[in-house]
Amino acid sequence: MRKDIGILCDAYATLHPGLYRSMSPAGFRQECRRLDRFVGTPRSLGDFYLALAAFTATIRCGHSFPNPANQTPAVAATLFGRPDRLPFAFTWLDRHMIVTADLGSGHNLTPGSEIVAIGRVAVRVILAKMLPYARTDGGNEARKVADLGIAGGANWPAFDVLRSLLFPSSGQSARIAVRTAGGVATVACLLMTASARDAALRPPSKASPYGWTFHLRGNVGVLTMPTWAVFRDEWDWRGFIDASLDTAVDRKLSGLVIDIRDNGGGLDCGAAIIARLIDTPLATDGYSRHVRYRKIPDRLSPYLKTWDRGFRDWGASAVGPDAAGFYALTRPGDASDTDIIRPAGRRFAGKVAVLVGPKNASATFGFSGVMQRHRLGTLIGEPTGGNRRGINGGAFFFVNLPASGIEVDLPLIAYWPDAPQPDAGVAPDYRVPARAVDVQAGQDRQLARAILIVSA
């Protein structure tokens, strides 16, 4: 494991463009030493995974972590392959665990109920224990908490991964203490496999394997997109967007609501939406691209995997270095990393609202900023994840650590704002906080506000 630590620290120090955005070089070296001391005694694979998660969390980059989705089948099965998923969805509101859907508990856990303990551990203790392993960008703490909910957009929710390692289940069921209007009751819930819980969260649909929906609310179209991690080539996500916008145009809808509140990002699907809202090319601007290297050193090459060999050697596209050792990048990291969005298809000219929240990071953070900055739509909800001081992403290496077999994501492109920005996400135009009482009443104040605004 010490060999793995040496490889990881070398790769991050050499290639990570945002390593020192929220920490100093001395602070990074201290974290490397702390990690090295941790493995001075024998540790399990799970212990090492948690140590790597805590280590990358100190960098405060939402794309730097031992990604559960990128582990080998053997590592994934060992670490978090047990049938121990909780049979309900939930969100954290004021750091209270509030049920949003019963997925097969057998006890009719009504939306709005509060889970106060799992097993013999209070959920406030569980949340506090998990937070040091949760990722975010800069000082945006709300994203860390939001990312520990179970909503339906992620294939490997952070809560599931951390619960398997920090609070492993000893049987096929878990005792859940639930607070309802009648008081606190303890019930035994059968745990689920990951596939069964995912199917309950996102029932199979011919329209979309990712839970995307488009429906009409009077003269308003509501496009719900719980994830943009749409990496299955066989599904035409662009076609889904175009069909939805075509319906909005054909029916002469007054407005469109785009619901991305549970969406942590993925591909830049937002560009395909924006292309249907504009009639002239749009310069997304606001952020410039920078990398820490022109060509990777040979010593790291055996441990770095990616989908584009061009990431190994940027060549003339990396201009520099400047006095701080950064190169300005003149080529995009991937096909969706563009400075210009061009009109496509028939333009929807009605009003647009975007429902946002702290889970929005990466592509959904960028989309929210462009929509607001260019007045293409009204943002409603709560401040986004991400960070206006800049984020990292666009291109990645997957650092494969040979001794343990664990993989760690390494983002390669830093996005810098053209002017100083606050250490925060994008603030909505209308702030409408989520409340437990609304969940209990089956009301969606954020959606209702959005429909009202685009209907006027």
pTM of the model: 0.95
Q: 82-201 is classed in which CATH architecture?
A: Roll (2.30)
Nearest to 397 by CA among 300, 258, 271: 300
Q: Is 46 exposed, middle or buried (0-12, 13-18, 19+ CB in 10 A)?
A: middle
Domain map of the chain by residue range? 1-70, 82-201, 213-455
pLDDT on residue 335: 63
User: Domain 213-455 adopts which CATH fold?
Assistant: 2-enoyl-CoA Hydratase; Chain A, domain 1 (3.90.226)
Q: Where would I find the H helices in 269-322?
A: 270-274
pLDDT of residue 155: 75
Cis peptide bond prior to 203, omega within 30° of 0: no
User: According to DSSP H, which parts of 344-408 are helical?
Assistant: 363-373
Give 16-67 pLDDT, tens digit per residue. Answer: 999 999 999 999 999 999 999 999 999 999 999 999 999 999 999 999 999 9
Record the tokens describing residue 65, joined without a space: 């972590």
User: Quick one: pLDDT at residue 181?
Assistant: 79
Query: Is residue 312 classed exposed, middle or buried when 0-12, 13-18 and 19+ CB atoms within 10 A define those classes?
Result: middle
Nearest to 19 by CA among 68, 46, 55: 55
How buried is residue 398: exposed, middle or buried, by Cβ count under 10 Å (0-12/13-18/19+)?
A: middle
By the 8 A CB rule, do 322 and 348 touch? Answer: no
φ/ψ (deg, to 5) at 144: -60, -45
The full length of the chain comes to 456
- CA dist 103 and 198 (Å) reads 10
Say what the pLDDT of residue 423 is.
97
- Decide if 299 contacts 10 (C-beta within 8 A): yes
DSSP for residue 63? T
C-alpha–C-alpha distance, residues 385 and 145, integer Å: 10
Q: What pLDDT, on a 0 to 100 scale, did the predictor assign at position 354?
A: 98
Instruction: For the chain, list residues with pLDDT below 70.
Output: 153-154, 233, 335-336
Q: Do the Cβ atoms of 146 and 100 come closer than 8 Å? A: no
d(CA 262, CA 150): 9
Contact in structure between 423 and 389 (CB atoms under 8 Å): yes
Segment (H or E) for 399 = strand 392-400
Reading the block at residue 352, the tokens are 């647009």
Structure tokens at 384: 């986004």
Q: What is the DSSP string of 191-248?
A: -B-HHHHHHHHS---SS-TT--EEEEETTEEEEE-S-B----TTS-HHHHHHHHHHHH
Q: Tokens for 377?
A: 């739509």
